[in-house]
Amino acid sequence: MSTAMEAMFAGRIHQDGHALRRTTLRHTNLTDPALGICLWRLGGERFRAAAVAWGPIGGPYKLAVAGEPRNRDLYFSALLPFAADLCKRIRRVAATQVARQRGRHTDYLPADALQIVVPNRTTVAALGLLGRYLAYLSDRGGVAPDPALVEAGKHLRFYARHARVPGQALLVPLDRLLAEHWATLLSPFEQANLAAVDAQIDPPRGVHAFDSGFAAEASARIGPEPTEDIDRITDELLARFNEARGGATEPATIGPLIAPIEAHYRRLVDPVWALMARVVDRERALPAAPSVPRRFEVDREAFGRRVDWVTGGGRYRTTDTPRQAAMTLRRLEEPLARYEAEKAIEDPAAMVPYLLDGEAVRGVVASLNDQYRVRFRVKAVRRAIIALDTDDPVILPLGKKLWWTATAHDHHWEVQDVTANGAGSRITLMLYAAPTPARLPGVGDRITFSVLHTSSDGYRLPPPQNPPWTHTSAAPPAPPEPIDAGDGDPPAAAVDGATLPDPGVYA
């Protein structure tokens, strides 16, 4: 991140009154339509989705409301339609496969993947916890839980874990999508409120982004964690509901009693649902960056592999072995570097921070010599040398490796010399490969070199199958176990904050 860039954004947004785009392209795949999920928990209850809304983004949503989500029977019967529908959608999408040729090897991967869009990162975490809970349910009273709940739990757990992969688009939290594509006056802390970000991007006519963002922040409720005002209402409705049902859990009794709670959550979901559609529409209008399909292919591959495994009854470990942890770290590091590189190489706006931080140079090719001879060990080889005239003075160490953005997947160039040249600098660069037409810019071209490249950092040994004893824990990691042991306990009584005695700790 370039601090000058951030400061420039803050100044201009303050002056212009609206957010500014950080990119000229969209770097995240957005399928049409994605499956939207919006959920509300009961306050403080991290495993209890009081309401789950799902459906195609931009279309109507279905709503699952348990009434009393802390009652296992009510909770599971409310979640079941959601779980079953999710499993059905995932299986349907995964069913259509395409062949992919890699050398002499053909593999099959899903033609598409089910993309899930949620309002924010907190929802991603909430879905992950819900998945962890449902994926390993124990029998209760000899009754096995509905398999759809367990399967949906495994899918959700996979989605939430995959969401850590940089540049992935299987599970898209919209707050992150906007933060990547837009600069606003909001600090990172405030960017968690999707409504506030949206309001800064698209303020009503004549209203400054700051004011419109503040109004949204003060009034919009996004979830999944409810605010006090929401749960005061929930508390009242739930007390009435529990009294009326008198311990009953059968649908016939519950059905008529649940309507007020459902209406309460509909009022909460409606604006979020509309907001999600508006945000997705706006970003979809931007052209996708060239590497978006490649990254989504990686997603599709992961999706297909996991669906096969889950529907085949596979179980995940809950704790990583040291080997897995090392692999995971690398799985996340490499895509991060590659994603950042692809973004900047493809998108001139995303390259600006690198230019500002001296990690990239831009200029006009003043001369080209592709007959330059250098002695490499014993043999003289042909190399290309160019002189690049930059607008601004640059400081680069000799020998620094740079890649021309047009060949960022290919060989690097090295800085041979830097001299002052008018207001800017003249950089001499040598290509570290045999000069071919594709590798050479033309004289007079305005081009960019940067430290970013998209080829893998060479061949890396996989971690050993049997890790050394220093990296082995005393006990093997625990196998997955159900975590639902306490979910049948009687729920805690709600407590109104206003009735708590104020200990006056700081007074």
Which residues in 101-140 contact other proteins (CB under 8 A)?
125, 129, 132-133
CA distance 417 to 429: 7
Rule CB under 8 A: which of 152-171 touch other proteins? none
CA distance 381 to 273: 63
- Interface with other proteins, residue 364, by CB under 8 A: no
Q: Are 198 and 218 in contact (CB under 8 A)?
A: no
Q: Hey, what are 147's tokens?
A: 């398999």
Write the interaction track for other proteins spanning residues 283-302; mark x where CB under 8 A is met and - where it is not. Answer: ---x----------------
- Out of 95, 111, 218, 259, the only residue in the binding site for other proteins (CB under 8 A) is 218
Rule CB under 8 A: which of 46-65 touch other proteins? 46-47
CA distance 264 to 74: 18
- Out of 103, 141, 142, 188, the only residue in the binding site for other proteins (CB under 8 A) is 188
- Interface with other proteins, residue 210, by CB under 8 A: yes
- Interface with other proteins, residue 475, by CB under 8 A: no
Q: CB 129 → other proteins: shortest distance, Å? A: 6
- Interface with other proteins, residue 474, by CB under 8 A: no
- Out of 146, 190, 301, 389, the only residue in the binding site for other proteins (CB under 8 A) is 190
- Out of 142, 246, 399, 501, the only residue in the binding site for other proteins (CB under 8 A) is 501
Q: CB 11 → other proteins: shortest distance, Å? A: 3
Whether the CA torsion 386, 390, 395, 400 is positive or negative: it is: negative
Q: CB 91 → other proteins: shortest distance, Å? A: 27
Rule CB under 8 A: which of 448-467 touch other proteins? none
- Interface with other proteins, residue 315, by CB under 8 A: no
- Interface with other proteins, residue 484, by CB under 8 A: yes
Stretch that binds other proteins, among 16-24, 87-95, 154-162, 379-387 (CB under 8 A): 16-24
Q: CB 104 → other proteins: shortest distance, Å? A: 42
CA dihedral 154, 157, 159, 161 (to 10 degrees): -140
- Out of 83, 345, 352, 408, the only residue in the binding site for other proteins (CB under 8 A) is 352
- Interface with other proteins, residue 495, by CB under 8 A: yes
Q: Hey, what are 469's tokens?
A: 């004893």
> ∠ at Cα 130 (129, 134), nearest 5°?
120
Q: Annotate 198-214 with DSSP letters as a single string.
A: HHHHSPPTT--HHHHHH
Three-state secondary structure string covering 144-176: CCCHHHHHHHHHHHHHHHHCCCCCCCCEEEHHH
> Regarding beta strands 116-118 and 171-173, do their DSSP bridges make them parallel or antiparallel, or are they unpaired?
parallel
- Interface with other proteins, residue 345, by CB under 8 A: no
Question: Beta-carbon neighbour count of residue 480 at 10 Å?
Answer: 15
- Cβ-based burial of 310 (10 A; exposed 0-12, middle 13-18, buried ≥19): buried
Q: CB 211 → other proteins: shortest distance, Å? A: 8
Residue count at the site for other proteins (CB under 8 A)? Answer: 86
Q: CB 42 → other proteins: shortest distance, Å? A: 5
- Out of 226, 304, 363, 441, the only residue in the binding site for other proteins (CB under 8 A) is 226
Rule CB under 8 A: which of 377-406 touch other proteins? 392
- Out of 102, 104, 205, 377, the only residue in the binding site for other proteins (CB under 8 A) is 205
- Interface with other proteins, residue 505, by CB under 8 A: yes
358-375 as b/e: b if 16+ CB within 10 A? ebbbbbbbeebebeeeee
- In this structure, which amino acid lies at residue 388? L
